[in-house]
Amino acid sequence: MKNNVVKIEKVIKSKQKCLAMLAPSFVTDFKYPSIITQLRQFGIDKVVELTFGAKMINRDYHKKLKNTKKILISSTCPGVVSYIENNHPELIGNMMPIDSPMVAMAKICKKYFPDYKIIFISPCSMKKLEAEKTKYVDYVIDYQQLKLLFEKNNIKESNAEAQFDKFYNDYTKIYPLSGALYKTAHIDGILKSNQVTVIDGIKDVSKFLEKPNKKVLFLDCLFCEGGCIGGPHTNKELKIRDKKHLVKKYLKKAKKEDIKDCRKGVIKKANGIKFSKD
């Protein structure tokens, strides 16, 4: 991870075009919209959020769950994916063969900005391992490292108004919260409530995987307690409930913004991109 920070600094200094992708959990550690201005001051040319990528994979989740006869496990969290691969190889075939929001958004960005280096700013370290398995993400740094970069380059919070460059989406801004995939992919319309289980925290995920409920057809699970807002590189001074409040406050604020059509993430912009692996 430290090596990535050094590489990013070199890339910025070389004037290579860069695009930063922000996980919506960023509000646990940075103010909105100040973070956008700060990234631009640092030398980032384009700033987008993962929300449009989340919207697109939601569509694939909905399609696959509509006709499933076996339990399917969410694969948005690399921590969960790694845990299952190492501890429950018999369940690898039950994991959703669908990109994570990070990879999905990176694919979209590479389509529109092919000459840009893609930098993902993450609440956890596991995204670094996930990025190494894909050709679409060039670098990953966590929130703590970004704070150090801002401090080193004397980049302070700003009161200036700013918006993401492209692919704006609102309702999937709650994706960092436990159960958000289930809530935003309209799965309640195709599966009964007793056919879905939402679990956050790897200890509880492990308990379920040891003795799965045979009625459950979808397990929406995340490695960290509370979801991505509980990631190891998020603000340790805040409790999960406070971080959850920040995400919901951010969504409420964002919904009031006047977003031009050219900045919105509409489905047709992802035409020709495949987010499923089968």
Task: Specify burial of residue 15 (Cβ count, 10 A radius: 0-12, 13-18, 19+).
Answer: exposed
Amino acid making up residue 25: S
Is 106 in contact with 137 (CB distance < 8 Å)?
yes
Residue 220, beta-bridge partner list: 198
Q: Going residue by residue through the chain, which has 278 residues, state the pLDDT in tens, using 9 for 90 and above.
A: 457 888 899 999 998 999 999 999 999 999 999 999 999 999 999 999 999 999 999 999 999 999 899 999 999 999 999 999 999 999 999 999 999 999 999 999 999 999 999 999 999 999 999 999 999 999 999 999 999 999 999 999 999 999 999 999 999 999 999 999 999 999 998 999 999 999 999 999 999 999 999 999 999 999 999 999 999 999 999 999 999 999 999 999 988 999 999 999 999 999 999 999 86
Is 23 in contact with 123 (CB distance < 8 Å)?
yes
How crowded is the C-beta side of 226, counted as CA atoms within 13 Å? Answer: 20
**DSSP string of 204-261, one letter each residue:** HHHHHHHS--TT--EEEEESSTTBGGG-TTS-TTS-HHHHHHHHHHHHHHHHTS---G
Which pair of tokens denotes residue 18? 């860069």
Within 10 angstroms of residue 213's Cβ, the number of other Cβ atoms is 12
> How distant, in Å, are the alpha carbons of 79, 140, 222, 265 from that of 126?
6, 10, 12, 26
Within 10 angstroms of residue 169's Cβ, the number of other Cβ atoms is 23
Q: Using CA atoms, how far apart are residues 246 and 259, in angstroms rounded to an integer? A: 21
Is 35 in contact with 172 (CB distance < 8 Å)?
no
pLDDT for 3 equals: 76
Sign of torsion, CA 147 152 155 156?
A: positive
**DSSP string of 124-181, one letter each residue:** SSHHHHHHTT-SS--EEEEHHHHHHHHHHTT----------SS-B-SGGGGTTBTTHH
pLDDT for 2 equals: 57
Phi and psi at 92, nearest 5°, equal -60, -40
